[in-house]
Amino acid sequence: MSEPKTIAVLAAMQEELDAILNLFENCAKTGFCGMQIYTAELNSHRFIFALSGVGRANTAINSALIAREYKPDIMLNVGSAGGLQKEQKILDVVIPNEIVALDVDLTALGFEYGQVMGENSSYFADRELRAKLFGISKGIVTTHGGAVGSSEAFICKPEQVAEVHRRFGENRVSCVEMEAFSIAVTCTRFNIPFAIIRSLSDVPAHGEGNELAFNEFLKEASHNAAKIFRSYDGFL
């Protein structure tokens, strides 16, 4: 068994968080800065579970508050996403190595597309943590690598997919969502190893109608992502 750690686990939506909480017994519930915080212990490790909220602003605030208050050794962002590659299927999993912003444009000032002024053009998950999770996931479900792209818009239209491909290339961005970029920035600032787990609730690369797939498969996708997290033997 590994040395005792504090592991913070954030999910954007209640369905995603509930899928994780259902895997743990006797979680204690408290409040902190308007957030509901759930804590549990397993094999001497302390787990902190919370909603990041939807979108980059909510996630930046809440992840930074948790980083400052609980000082986690690891931060995981677990939940659902939309697949951006045509070979992907709903309920596949993405364990990305890279995190990019899809809707930041300061190219007129000489920065790369997706780069916030004065910041990195992209961020990277902890290599060792990500590799372990990727290996576990491959043994359970079809798993993809690549980058996760965060946007303030829900990506579901062919023209949105085409724009991401035009800006970042056809194969670089594997899935799209709204929170991972903020998790990456927060963890980089606080020097916290992090990883992202995303189960595909929809695949906008397949064409129109994926907002309907999202509503239908969110709960099942959330369960898949939680199962990968629970199978990680680094704290079991």
Q: Torsion angle, CA of 132/47/179/208, rounded to 10 degrees?
A: 70
- CB-based contact 158:46 (threshold 8 Å): no
Q: In Å, how far are 133, 134, 205, 234 from 191, measured between CA atoms? A: 20, 22, 34, 19
How many whole angstroms separate alpha carbon 180 and alpha carbon 100? 8
- CB-based contact 120:227 (threshold 8 Å): no
Q: Which helix (H) or strand (E) holds 224?
A: helix 210-231
Longest dimension (CA), the chain: 53
Catalytic residue numbers read: 16, 202
Q: How many helices (H) and strands (E) does the chain have?
A: 6, 12
60: its two tokens: 């930046």
Q: Torsion angle, CA of 126/85/201/25, rounded to 10 degrees?
A: -20
